[in-house]
Amino acid sequence: MSKYTPVLPLRTDPTGNIRVDIVSDTMGLIVQYKYETKSGIVDDYIYFSNIANFSFRKLKYLSEFPSETYDCVCESSADNEVLPGAVKRFLCFFSEHGLLEVLAESVEPLDKPPPTLTEIFEKLVGNDLI
C-alpha cells in the first residue's frame, strides 16, 4: 500500500495549470509550470536534485490519488519498496496535464528561472564568444 505525504504545495489557479515544461540533465530536473492570476500569467519552477529516473504520464484525472495531492509535490512510500541510497519517490499531479513521477534525493522551489545554456556558457568562457 502506498502512502502520499505532501511536501511542496504548488502555487496554482483553481482552474489548473496552463502549461508544464520539463527539462533534465544528468543531475537534475527542472519543472516550469505556468498558471493564470488576476494580474496575468505567472511562471514557477521546481528543481529535483540528483535524479535517478523520471516519467510523465498525460492524464486529466487520477482516481487513486486523494484530492489533496493534486497540484502538490508528494513523497510516496510503499511498504515493501527499496530505493537506492538517499533516493526518494516524488509524485506531482498537475491538474489537466498529468502525473510526474521522479526518483530523486530532494525537491525544492526555485525563486527565479534557471540560467539558459547561453548564460552558463558565457559565465564559463566569458563574453568573448567566437
**In the predicted structure, residue 6 carries a pLDDT above the cut 80:** yes
Provide the whole-model pTM: 0.78
According to the model, what pLDDT value does residue 21 have? 83
Confidence of residue 128 (pLDDT cuts 50, 70, 90): low
> Is the distance from CB of 45 to CB of 114 less than 8 angstroms?
yes
According to the model, what pLDDT value does residue 96 have? 74
At position 72, the amino acid (one-letter code) is: C
pLDDT (tens digit, 9 = 90+) per residue, 55-99? 998 876 666 677 767 788 999 876 567 777 788 999 988 877 788
At position 73, the amino acid (one-letter code) is: V
**Which residue is it, cell 510526474?**
100
What is the rounded end-to-end Cα distance, in angstroms, of the chain?
Answer: 57
**In the predicted structure, residue 116 carries a pLDDT above the cut 70:** no
pLDDT (tens digit, 9 = 90+) per residue, 88-114? 999 988 877 788 999 999 999 988 777
For 12, residues 6+ apart whose C-beta sits below 8 A from its C-beta are: 33, 35, 71, 95
Count CB-CB contacts under 10 A for residue 31: 24
